[in-house]
Structure 1
Amino acid sequence: MNTHTQTTDFTPVDQDLYAAAFRLLDPDPEPEPAAPVAPAALTAPVQAPLIAVQPVRLTGPVEKTLTDALNFLDTHGWTRYSLINTEGARCSIGALRAAAGSRNAAYCDAGNLLLDEARRQHGKKWEAIPAWNDCHTGAEVRSVWEAAIRRAHDMNI
Structure 2
Amino acid sequence: MNTHTETQFTPIDPDLYAKAFQLLDPAPEPVAPAAPSAPSPVSLILAAGRLHQAGPVEETLTDALTFLDTHGWAKGRLIHPEGARCSIGALRAAAGARNSAYRDAGKLLLDEARRQHGKQWKAIPAWNDSHTGPQVRSVWEAAIQRAHQANI
TM-score (norm 2): 0.67
Name the counterpart of 2:89.
Answer: 94
Separation in 1 of the partners of 2:146 and 2:68?
19
- Please say if residues 92 and 133 of structure 1, whose CA atoms lie closer than 8 Å, have aligned partners that are also in contact: yes
Q: How many residues align?
A: 109
Looking at both structures, which has the greater relative contact order when contacts are Cα pairs under 8 Å and sequence separation is at least 6?
1
Q: Which runs of 4+ in 1 moved over 4 A?
A: 11-14
Q: Which runs of 5+ in 1 are unaligned?
A: 1-10, 19-53
Q: What is the TM-score when the length of structure 1 is the normalising length?
A: 0.65
RMSD: 2.2
1:57 deviates by 3.0
The runs of 5 or more residues in structure 2 that have no matched partner are: 1-36, 44-48
- Measure the CA separation in 2 of the matches of 1:132 and 1:90: 14
From the CA coordinates, give the structure whose radius of gyration is larger: 2
Distance in 1, matches of 2:68 and 2:108, equals 18
The counterpart of 1:76, out of the listed 66, 71, 94, is: 71
Give the SS at the match of 1:153: helix
Q: Secondary structure at the match of 1:126?
A: coil
Is this contact kept in 2: 1:13–1:71, CA < 8 A? Answer: no
Distance in 2 (CA, whole Å) between partners of 1:98 and 1:85 is 13
Using the TM superposition, give the Cα deviation of residue 55 of structure 1 relative to its aligned residue in structure 2, in angstroms: 7.7
